[in-house]
Amino acid sequence: MRQSQLFTRTRKEAPTDEISKNAQLLIRAGFIYKEMAGVYTLLPLGFRVIKNIERIIREEMNAIGGQEVLMTTLQDPKLWEKSGRWDDSVIDVWFKTTLRQGTELGIANTHEEALTNILREYISSHRDIPAYIYQIQTKFRNELRAKSGIMRTREFQMKDLYSFNADEAGFRAFYEQCAQAYMRIFARAGIGDVTYRTFASGGSFSPFSDEFQTLTEAGEDTIYIDDASGRAVNKEVYTDDVLAELGLSKDAMREARSIEVGNIFPLGTRFPEALGLMYTDESGEKKFPYMGSYGIGLGRLMGTIVEVLSDDKGLVWPHEVAPFAVHLVSLAGNNSDVAAEAENTYNALTERGIEVLFDDRDARAGEKFADADLIGIPTRVVVSEKTIAAGGIEVTDRKTGSTELVPESAVPDYFSND
RNA sequence: CGGGGCGUAGUAUACCGGUAGUACGCCUGCUUUGGGAGCAGGUAGACCGAGUUCGAUUCUCGGCGCCCCGACCA
């Protein structure tokens, strides 16, 4: 896409009402727009990033047998009354609304009840499970305090998968598979080497859960890491008993600040029991399926990538999540030959299926470079009088800053899209 | 929800009990063109309400909003 037509603009100065690095950079670079506290609009560049994150998650969830659905935001209180969670003292992040005739409705903050209820119609035999169902959908949570830019918001995209297995053994096997899929997701998102599977409390549903914690000072959590095994333990369950159970020793563990980018946990049969979801097993006996829940907040993942990878010049996107693969910068000035060459390069790359942000604006080099650094597309390509005189194009890596001149004849191979 | 801080052009900031200045942005023109250019002209602003006062953007109170610390975070 041509940058001259991109309706957003970069800003030199950070907004004063944002302290967090993720929000400052994303707003300055024109990826997001702040509507109000904890509520952000995704602008074209930010939307592209979220779509890429979504794609990675979707691929990995499909690979482990996930089936995608899209559930509703408006929810029936009756289902929640059955599970005992309609009460504001049980879930304190509710947004609720009412129909004109006065009927109360819930605005979804999670979907265990809704999905379990749907499955009553489709799961009745052991042949109907396991079922692994997920969605990428907007969640609303009335957080007491939104904070840390896009890390804790009141409205956000979330991937939530729910597993239904015949028994706990089947659940366990899938749970491990999903944990592996999560690690692949975070690796592809560029934060794999600083993300730890972390033993944590299971809240009110189970004795444990696994969180995926990414090391960053911007985090809200404290974890303890055992570098030898790569495992970590959340501070909230960092007790001698838990460590003994996990075979870990306090002597070998280091403390770190982190942000929770994902969470998986066992739900047992609580929701099937509350909502009446049963299947008939091989011997004709009726049983409750064993359930698990697996979440990733897409916006928080995007914010975490920013916190971990950006530098003093701006954003740095890993290839798989970058809004574009190449940032083509034309330094044409009044030189129509350079402008024509830049157009040719743009067309050649685009025809090869490469996503290009083409800075065709009538602006000076300094401004264009500063913007390119701020936006953080992995590869910058410059076409100018200099590069034409040298018979090629200049290719710069955003992360390392390393630059090379690629001869014109070698350009197709350099950008072969494989 | 407890505590603290803050609301001035699109953005970032300054000053002031007598209606507001600067920078960036944006518009026009000329020059410039490899790291956020120069000159000239122009555009655009006091969160809302009440009170005090001859007069409030400034002081007081209330509301609303934003940020930070803590608590909370199925």
Residues A157 and A32 in one domain: yes
Residue A41 CA distance to nucleotide B59 C1' (Å): 39
Closest nucleotide relative to residue A267's CA, C1' based: B74
* Structural domain range at position A380: 326-414
Closest nucleotide relative to residue A386's CA, C1' based: B34
Residues A43 and A136 in one domain: yes
Is A418 a residue whose pLDDT tops 60?
no
Residues A246 and A339 in one domain: no
Nearest Cα residue to A221 out of A124, A123, A306, A151:
A151
In a domain, A315, yes or no: no
**Binning pLDDT at 50, 70 and 90, where does residue A206 land?**
confident
What's the average model confidence in pLDDT over A376-401? 96
Whole-number Cα distances in Å, A160 to A103, A121, A219, A294: 27, 21, 22, 6
pLDDT in the model for residue A323: 98
Residues A78 and A190 in one domain: yes
Q: What is the ipTM of this complex?
A: 0.95
Residue A45 CA distance to nucleotide B20 C1' (Å): 38
Whole-prediction pTM:
0.97
Domain end marker among A260, A281, A309: A309
Asked if A45 and A323 touch (Cβ cutoff 8 Å), the reply is: yes
Cross-strand pairs, A206:
A202
Is A138 a residue whose pLDDT tops 80?
yes
The rounded radius of gyration (Å) of the Cα atoms in chain A is 25
Residues A297 and A372 in one domain: no
Whole-number Cα distances in Å, A102 to A8, A94, A109, A142: 42, 18, 21, 21
Phi-psi region of A319 (alpha: psi -120 to 50; beta: other; left: phi over 0): alpha
CA dihedral A281, A69, A136, A83 (to 10 degrees): -50
pLDDT in the model for residue A417: 59
Q: Model confidence over A277-333: pLDDT tens digits?
A: 999 999 999 999 999 999 999 999 999 999 999 999 999 999 999 999 999 999 998
In a domain, A320, yes or no: no
pLDDT in the model for residue A204: 66
Residue A18 CA distance to nucleotide B5 C1' (Å): 14
Residue A16 CA distance to nucleotide B8 C1' (Å): 14
Is A28 a residue whose pLDDT tops 90?
yes
Domain end marker among A252, A274, A309: A309
Q: Model confidence over A86-117: pLDDT tens digits?
A: 999 899 999 999 999 999 999 999 999 999 99
Residues A292 and A340 in one domain: no
Is A45 a residue whose pLDDT tops 90?
yes
Q: At A232, which CATH number?
A: 3.30.930.10
- State chain A's maximal CA–CA distance in angstroms: 82
In a domain, A318, yes or no: no
Closest nucleotide relative to residue A366's CA, C1' based: B35
Residue A340 CA distance to nucleotide B30 C1' (Å): 26
Closest nucleotide relative to residue A266's CA, C1' based: B74
Q: Which positions of strand B lie within 7 Å of protein CB atoms?
A: 1-2, 11-13, 24-26, 32-37, 65-74
Domain end marker among A309, A341, A362: A309
In a domain, A314, yes or no: no
Residues A294 and A343 in one domain: no
Residues A365 and A300 in one domain: no
What's the average model confidence in pLDDT over A250-265? 94
**Angle, CA of A281, A282 and A288, to the nearest 5°:** 10
Q: How many domains does chain A have?
A: 2
